[in-house]
Amino acid sequence: MNDTLEKAKATLPVYGFLNLKDYEIPQGQELIKAILDLKKEKNAVILAHYYQPPAIQDIADFLGDSLQLARQARDTDADMIAFCGVHFMAETAKILNPTKKVVLPDTQAGCSLADSCSAEGLNKMRAEHPGALVATYINCNAETKAASDIIVTSSNAEQIIENLPKDRPIIFAPDKNLGRYLMKKTGREMILWEGSCVVHEAFSMERIAQQLASNPDAKLIAHPESETPVLDLAHFVGSTSALLNYVETSDAQKFIVATEEGILHEMRKRAPHKELIPALVFDESCNCSECFFMKRNTLEKLYLCMKYELPEITMDEQLRLQALKPIEAMLEMSKSIK
């Protein structure tokens, strides 16, 4: 088995995960049992984002949005955090709780927003706007976080931007759609980085308008990473958690949902009698409302990463401490947000 592990480790940088074909992996209920046994054996906690495949959501100890998962990672006393989400989320867990082993089933689980924004680029933008505060969406890598003054998530961004000193210009990175939405909500001018989410940009305003016309009793709900024309059409705009709460508590019985489709799994559990219609995307032949980064994680990869404790998130301590500062500033400014 050691030979196999050495061989699999060698392919890690290419595959991003332990090569499945090198291992015997239990199937079906046996696989679930094996993951639960590993959890006990290793005193591990499984954290999963709402966009994860349903089978992973169902096995997780905590399911949440990026803010809730960051807090769970910070507060856990487990020895190992098996993070089922994308790379920047697992990195955030490591930044917040460095003595824990953080494993991610597939390190290629990236994010188009994180990929669009380097620390170098952000520093250049800062130099062009002396005196500006840099507020960065949590969807970015550790280096970019370290180059920021404060981090925000979709659930606390509005509150944080509103409370930043009024006499300082704000650079907002990397999501221009969320940035525009925040400018409208808070009335604050911001200098925007030109990044976007490949999933939320795929929604078609025209096709959604047709869906609304055929379902006049439905409420359109959208995540603020969607483009402005979709947000302008929406009855409700909110973060992942806010959309879940809205579906659960609203009097409406039907919703057209313009965000990543994985969230429908939890929405159906919380509001089983309500009708949920995924919003349509431009390309009829594409599953574009599913984040292919999030869906790279599977139960099989989760099993292997817990068993062999690989791939593991590691980080230079100086970088971690620099990235921690703006995350702590965010947590301090958003204590009131669930």
Instruction: Catalog residues that contact ligand SF4 under the rule CB under 6 A.
Output: 86, 111-113, 139, 197-199, 225, 260, 291, 293-294
| Beta carbon of residue 8, minimum distance to ligand SF4 (angstroms, whole number) | 26
| 93 touches, from ligand SF4, ligand 13P, none (C-beta below 5 to 8 Å by class) | none
| 148 touches, from ligand SF4, ligand 13P, none (C-beta below 5 to 8 Å by class) | none
Nearest to ligand SF4 of 158, 225 (CB atom): 225
Nearest to ligand 13P of 150, 197 (CB atom): 197
| 17 touches, from ligand 13P, ligand SF4, none (C-beta below 5 to 8 Å by class) | none
Residue with tokens 């379902």: 215
Nearest to ligand 13P of 70, 304 (CB atom): 70
Nearest to ligand SF4 of 38, 230 (CB atom): 230
| 203 touches, from ligand 13P, ligand SF4, none (C-beta below 5 to 8 Å by class) | none
| Beta carbon of residue 225, minimum distance to ligand SF4 (angstroms, whole number) | 6
How far is CA 178 from each of CA 20, 266, 299, rounded to the nearest angstrom? Answer: 37, 23, 32
| Beta carbon of residue 266, minimum distance to ligand SF4 (angstroms, whole number) | 15
| 72 touches, from ligand 13P, ligand SF4, none (C-beta below 5 to 8 Å by class) | none
Nearest to ligand SF4 of 174, 307 (CB atom): 174
| Beta carbon of residue 260, minimum distance to ligand 13P (angstroms, whole number) | 6
Nearest to ligand SF4 of 293, 303 (CB atom): 293
| 240 touches, from ligand 13P, ligand SF4, none (C-beta below 5 to 8 Å by class) | ligand 13P
| Beta carbon of residue 224, minimum distance to ligand 13P (angstroms, whole number) | 9
| 198 touches, from ligand 13P, ligand SF4, none (C-beta below 5 to 8 Å by class) | ligand SF4
Instruction: Catalog residues that contact ligand 13P under the rule CB under 6 A.
Output: 65-66, 139, 153-154, 197, 225, 239-240, 260
Nearest to ligand 13P of 97, 153 (CB atom): 153
> Cβ neighbours of residue 291 under 8 Å, at least 6 residues apart?
51, 86, 198, 199, 260, 262
| 154 touches, from ligand 13P, ligand SF4, none (C-beta below 5 to 8 Å by class) | ligand 13P
| Beta carbon of residue 106, minimum distance to ligand SF4 (angstroms, whole number) | 13
| Cβ–Cβ under 8 Å, residues 109 and 71 | no
Q: What is the 3-state secondary structure (H, E, C) of the chain?
A: CHHHHHHHHHHHHHHCCCCHHHCCCCCHHHHHHHHHHHHHHCCEEEEEECCCCHHHHHHCCEEECHHHHHHHHHHCCCCEEEEECCHHHHHHHHHHCCCCEEECCCCCCCCHHHHHCCHHHHHHHHHHCCCCEEEEECCCCHHHHHCCCEEECCCCHHHHHHCCCCCCCEEEECEHHHHHHHHHHHCCCEEECCECCCCHHHECHHHHHHHHHHCCCCEEEECCCCCHHHHHHCCEECCHHHHHHHHHHCCCCEEEEECCCCHHHHHHHHCCCCEEEECCECCCCCCCCCCCCHHHCCHHHHHHHHHHCCCECCCCHHHHHHHHHHHHHHHHHCCCCC
Nearest to ligand SF4 of 113, 147 (CB atom): 113
